[in-house]
Chains A and B, each alone.
Chain A
Amino acid sequence: MLLDVKHLRVSLPGPVPILTDVSLDAGRGEIVGIAGESGSGKSMTARALLGLLPRGAEVTGTVRFDGRVLDRRSTIEQRGHGIAMVFQDPVAALHPMLTIGRQLTEHMRLHLRMSKKDARRRALGLLEQVRLPDPERALRGYPHQFSGGQLQRIAIASALAAEPKLLIADEPTTALDVTVQAGILRLLDRLRTEMDLAVLFITHDLGVLASLAARTCVFYAGRVVETGRTADVLRDPHHPYTEALLAARDASSGRSMPGRPVSAADAPAGCPFAPRCADRRDECDTTVPERRSIHSGHESACLVRTAEGVR
């Protein structure tokens, strides 16, 4: 496994818990989906992996990347070169006053020790790889001259510039038009195979993961509540939250989840989903469920639904 995260906990001074127990992994050439609503901690996980947490954040647990355990220093060293990130809003994530060329090559030259000329040539190649029209002119342009979809392609090219092994895409299509989304998803899939890239795809839209991600982790209140092969999780969800999430998506059913999503800081004692859960029992309010295996690779953190599949 390229990336192996075990029991990651993140909290801010307060103490304000952000992530309470996150474990996941991803291998080369696979796309792992991270699904959850606002406040579930999915974006924070991405930031934790890159060491981009706010000052004063406390991090415990182990992160193994490319064979070694990462501490603060090595996390910073991996930025761009080992692990790269694509942000949600490409308009906000690119510097308005620097040329595209500059933004593509600056870290490339740093990590890969390239000359200006070589870097430029590689940048052109990357823009072609992400299918951006007229790459020559694009290099000289500024972000405000491009559309959202084009900028996201550029952002992806930038993320790939320093030859990372793991790409974290934090809701890369949320800020884009629906028509443009499909193209970005296809692009990511192609890059996965072309470059043997590992991808963590963060989204609140489970549907997107169906066609894209091999495996999926479902986040709620700062912990992973269900994980497994995407097909399994979507077709046969075991955790009540996943089930409710899928049901709410289904427009024709007209059912929505009672209550509002909860962050780690606001989570009650015991199972964080208990207050909204239809299957809630007394023990759910006091005991935090551990992730248990349903069958190979498919795990769920619920006290009520055991491997025997009580429904």
Chain B
Amino acid sequence: MTAIQDARVTRALTRRRSRGVWRQPVVAGALVVLAAWVLIAVLADWVSPYDALAQTSDIYAAPSAQHWFGTDELGRDVFSRVLHGSRLSIPLALAVVVLALTAGGLLGLVAGYFGKVADEVIMRITDLVFAFPQIILAMAVAAAFGPSAANAVVALVLVSWPIYARVIRGAVLSIRGENYLSAARMLGVGPMTVLRRDVIPNSVGPAIVLATLELGNAVLLLAGLSFLGLGPRPPAPEWGAMIAIGATDISKWWVSVFPGLAILTVVLACNVLGDAIRDRFDPNLTGDR
């Protein structure tokens, strides 16, 4: 089939089917969920029925009208804690993504634009980091620096920057091939200007797509680290840590189930949105994670 026919046919086939059904209600739902969580994070103090840190004598109470999600081992209201948990998970995950994007993006830019030695060195380092599964490396780093929210973020940034570097480098390389760049250079435009004016704006697209895809992963990893005790210290109401405590007595299911549901909804929403954004803007990016 020729290109014209191919495009038409594809459009005809996808118009009402996969794109239509998959995208509209589900993506809208994901946006709503994410927006809701952000609102909760902002308004947590006002929306929570109880103080997230207030301990009572009503230990391990099952879900009821007074405590929708029950209470934990120290009598704290699980519902309030879950709501407040968003104040940790969401900003921390965002921090990870933003920092990793900046660091990785810069390195990818350097590698792609200046090439040669810089490219070789940076690529070998990314290979090396890729050789370690993320959670292991993050664990090791977080353990080395001591458990805290900040260190968890640092550990995750160290573990995630390579993917950004790779993708940005790829984007830069494909732009470098464009003729208008060499034309600009021939006219005497300096490398810095070309970078600023042409290369960076064009790399932003893939970067955004990747960042949204990675957001969900960051939330999961963060929860994993705090589950292992390597994240924000107690009594901070971090979801992962709450699940860890709930694991000590599984008959009190509400202590673990609700934080887990919180993680699930946030990560799912991020992933759905990330997928949709990727489908819209750059289908070739990561080959459908």
Contacts and interface: CB of A to CB of B under 8 A. Distances in A.
A39 interface: yes
Interface in A31-60: 38-39, 43-44, 47, 54-56
A38 B3 contact: yes
Contacts of B16: 13
Contacts of B4: 38-39, 263
A67 to B, nearest CB: 30
Contacts of B12: 12-14, 16
B1 interface: yes
A5 interface: no
Contacts of A214: none
Contacts of A114: none
A76 interface: no
Given A43-B1, A43-B2, A263 B8 contact: yes
A263 B13 contact: no
A39 B4 CA distance: 6
A2 interface: no
Contacts of B2: 38-39, 43
Interface in B1-34: 1-5, 8-9, 12-13, 15-16
B9 A12 contact: yes
A14 B17 CA distance: 11
Nearest to A37: B2
A18 B9 CA distance: 9
A18 B4 CA distance: 12
Given A263-B8, A265-B8, A14 B1 contact: no
A43 B9 CA distance: 13
Contacts of A13: 12-13, 16
B5 A39 contact: yes
B5 A38 contact: yes
SS class, residues of chain B in contact with chain A: helix
A47 B4 CA distance: 16
A108 B141 CA distance: 62
A55 B1 CA distance: 15
A43 B5 contact: yes
A285 B15 CA distance: 29
Contacts of A16: 8-9, 12
Contacts of B1: 43-44, 47
A39 to B, nearest CB: 4
A92 to B, nearest CB: 12
Contacts of B15: 14
Contacts of B3: 38
A46 to B, nearest CB: 10
B13 A56 contact: yes
Nearest to B8: A265
Contacts of B8: 16, 39, 263, 265
A232 B10 CA distance: 38
Contacts of A265: 8
Nearest to A12: B12
A16 B15 CA distance: 11
A283 B73 CA distance: 86
Contacts of A39: 2, 4-5, 8
Contacts of A38: 2-5
Contact of B5 (A14, A55, A56, A263): A263
A290 to B, nearest CB: 25
A54 B5 CA distance: 12
Contacts of A56: 13
B13 A44 contact: no
A265 B5 CA distance: 10
A47 B12 CA distance: 17
Interface string B53-71: 0000000000000000000
Contacts of A12: 9, 12-13
Interface in B202-251: none
Given A12-B13, A43-B5, 4 more contacts: A16-B8, A16-B12, A39-B5, A39-B8
Interface of A: 12-14, 16, 18, 38-39, 43-44, 47, 54-56, 263, 265
29 contacts: A12-B9, A12-B12, A12-B13, A13-B16, A14-B12, A14-B15, A16-B8, A16-B12, A18-B5, A18-B9, A38-B2, A38-B3, A38-B4, A38-B5, A39-B2, A39-B5, A39-B8, A43-B1, A43-B2, A43-B5, A44-B1, A47-B1, A54-B13, A55-B13, A56-B13, A263-B4, A263-B5, A263-B8, A265-B8
Interface of B: 1-5, 8-9, 12-13, 15-16
Chain A to chain B: the 5 pairs with minimum beta-carbon distance, closest first: A38-B2, A16-B12, A12-B12, A39-B4, A14-B12
